[in-house]
Structures are given as structure tokens and as C-alpha cells.
Amino acid sequence: MDYKSLKANTIIGKTDIYLVGVYTDKRLSHLGKSIAKLNIELAKKCFNKNDFTGNIGDHRTIDDFKNNVQILFFGLGDKDKYSPLTLNKSIKGIISKIKDIHVTNISINTDNIISKRNNVTLELLVTYLEDGFYKYIYKKEKKKSKIKSCNLISNKIFPRKAFITSVTNGKAISNGIKLAKDLGNTPPNICNPTFLSNEAIKLKKINKKLKVTVINEAKMKSMGMGSLLSVSQGSKEPAKLVAIEYMPVKNKQPIVLVGKGITFDTGGISLKPSPNMDEMKYDMSGAGSVLGTMKALAEMNINKNVIGIIACAENMPGSQATRPGDVYTSMSGLTIEILNTDAEGRLVLCDALTYSRKYKPKYMIDMATLTGACLVGLGKYPSGLFSNDQKLAELIKKSADKTGDRVWQLPLYDDYFEELKTNFADIQNIGGRYGGAITAAAFLAKFTDGVKWAHLDIAGTAWEVGKNKGSTGRPVSLLIDFVLSN
């Protein structure tokens, strides 16, 4: 959409719908002169008569026939609990009510929404508005909303330069989230490792500073990536390791983002049960979030060094597939005994992490739909956070709070590493029955000595189930904020 900043000193006209966020206190003093006094009084009566609560998901409509405007009040929830997370829920809910109706322009009052104290910025609002219109359709000709423009109404007009920057960045972040969602939602017969590598190559069109390198299986073999290759060998689809380099600043250590890109996960020989196996197309969501983040940062043309690494493979059973009990040598030289072929994400990531060390990163963060154990432990709300550096963990938490893309830190005690010992190799790929998300992170930590590293387990947060089934695009917004803040 196109955005304009308008001052709330005159009654809104030349718009189809005026969106007004209201807290549970139901106060309307922030509206200024954008709504006639008669309509404000009418709204108050409507709130009381129709029991409008101001809770998230609640909304009421009144018509301003004189100015030919529909005024739509929507709940922002409890003011004391207001945050980026609650705003995101509110905006998604109200956009879902209007995105398919026949209007071309909307307006939204920002005075009750933008709050520096609550980490809600204009950039964040634009991101949520744009993301609210997202819909995946398996067609080349995608139906688009007829809403083309949005007026941002406030008692003070935003400074022009800051306004343009916030809108541009908000759109870029939304575009990154959209790419991550599209990749996750694409059917796995289309979204294979080669497809993902081609999507990475397309990013070069956005910014000439991007350099993309695709490493094929022959090259991986020569580099000693036996762990990654052990996952792909049961599939006819060849694995790909992709490096996306964005290095505009000389002699500065980059932030390296590493994503798991298992484009479909059957479990291999350790075959998964069939119910809900279709959701295993989302097992490449870590890679999708890296691609989405790199797209957004390239569109912003930031002056920071960032590297995106995606390790892509398809985990299938077959005559050449890895068996439980097989031993492979990773790029690091550590030998790995495979006890469960469904614990494959860590096998592709460990070689990707070793490869990433060549960039001498300031920070290295990997994200992966790694374990069902994380979903059992934390549910579908926060991503699991693990790190070998507490300062880095705190920085990630700060970005999580700012974006509403929540994380929860779990421990990496030495005890968990003991569970990875085996008589037949340097390390085995699973631990004991309990704490599976932690032993998986401990496995990855073995390949990060000397590097400030963090791992995000997004198994519970990368996609929604039920009526809203689909990719969430998480943790793109968190990663973008982390890069921009550090």
C-alpha cells in the first residue's frame, strides 16, 4: 500500500474506512477533530448499548453518512499489557474483516497505537498492516486486495524523512516475512533444495552487494561434509549448501545466520507416523527465515555485514538412505553415530556451522524446526533459545521483546553433553528420552567452540495449525531487529 501522514485536525474524508484502536478503558480523547463530536457521542452510546469491551478481536462500526466514511472501532486490549504482540493480533484481526471488501483506501488513527514506551513504532505498524493482507494461493495469478492506500492519522504529522524511512523499512520487513511464508507454504514437490537455492540466487536482483554461492554435492564431498550428505543420500533430490554474502563494510566481522532447510522430512529409515506428515514441508522454515531476513536487509540497503547460510536437503527412505548405526565424518572431523535418522536437522546444521566459521563471525545464530521436544516443552508460543554466550542470549531476548517474536531460554548444562557419548564415534546424534530439545542444542554446540553462538528451535513457532494453518514467517522480524541493533 501507499502511505500518507495526515494531521487529525479535520474530519476524515476521502477515505472508505477509518480504523480506530480502542483500549479496554474505551477512551476516545486521542481522536482530536478527526471524528465529529456527534459521532464520538454516538460511538460511546454504541459501546455501552452493544457491550463493546475493547478486548482484542472485538469491534464495532458506525457510519458517518455526512462524510461518507465508515468508522470501525477495534479492540487493542488492556493498556497496561499493550505490546508489539498484542498489536499484531489486533491488526491481523481487523484486517481480516476488511481486506476482501470493495474499498480502495483506508485510514488508521496512530495516536493510540504508536508507543515508544511499549516498543511499538511506526515501522512496526506498517509491517503489521502489510502482513495482515498476506494470503498464499497456489496460482501464478494471485488475487490481490483492492485496498491500495492508507492514511496514517495523528495529532502531529510525522517528520517526512523519518516517515519515509519507517514506511520503507516496514514494507521491507513485511516482504521478508512474506517470502519466508511463501517458501514454507509452497508444496514440497516444488520447494526442494534446488528450488530454495534458486530463490537465493534471485535475491541478487534486489541489491548488487549480494553475492550468492551454491555448493553442490560433489563440492560438499570434497570439503568433507559427510554429515550433511548422509541426510540427502536417500533422496533423488540433491542437497545444496547456499551462502548469501552481504558485506558492504570492509574489515568488519559479520553476523552469520544459519538455517535448516529440510524441504521434506519423512524421518528417513526412522519413518515418522503418517498423521500430519504433510506439515513436514515446513521443516525448511529455518532456511526460509534466513532468505526472508536477507531479502529485507537487502531492500533496506543496510550498512552492516551479514551472511546467510542455508543447508538444504530432503530426508527420504530408500535403498541408499542412512541406517541407524551408520557412522559418518562431519566437516569438522568429528565422527557421528546415527541412532535416529529422524534427528537429521542437526546433521545438516553441524556442517553448515563448521562452514560458517570461515567468515570469523561476530555472532552466529542458527534457526531450525529442530525438535518436537521443544514443542512439548514450550508449546507454540515462544521459540526455544540456547546459547554458549549469555550476552548474546540477552541481545536476542531484547529483539524478541521489541518485535513480539518471543523466545524462552533453556539451559545447556554439562550433564546434557554426557548423553551424547557413544562407544562407536566421537558423538551420537540423539540423547536420552528426556530434554530432547536441549540435547539437540548440545549436539550443535559441539561445533561452535570459540564462536559466540545461539540456536533458536522454531519447531513450535514456524507454522500454525487448524483453521489458520500456514507458515508464520517467524523469526524473520526478530532476526532483522537483531542485525539492525547489533
Q: Do 459 and 410 meet the contact criterion of CB atoms below 8 Å apart?
A: no
Active-site residue (options: 26, 97, 272, 362): 272
Q: Are the beta carbons of 262 and 315 closer than 8 angstroms?
A: yes
Q: Read off the C-alpha cell for 344.
A: 537429521
Distance CA 287, CA 456 (A): 12
Task: Judge whether 397 counts as a catalytic residue.
Answer: no
**CA distance linking residue 4 with residue 265, whole number of Å:** 45
- The rounded distance, in Å, linking the Cα atoms of 12 and 106 is 11
Instruction: Please indicate whether residue 204 is annotated as part of the active site.
Output: no
CA distance 381 to 375: 9
Whole-Å CA distances, 268 to 53, 196, 233, 314, 325: 51, 21, 10, 9, 13
Altogether, the residues listed in the chain come to a count of 486
How many angstroms separate the most distant Cα atoms in the chain? 82
Q: Which of 60, 181, 281, 346 is catalytic?
A: 346
Is the peptide bond between 475 and the residue preceding it cis, with omega within 30 degrees of 0? Answer: yes
Q: Which residues are catalytically annotated?
A: 272, 346
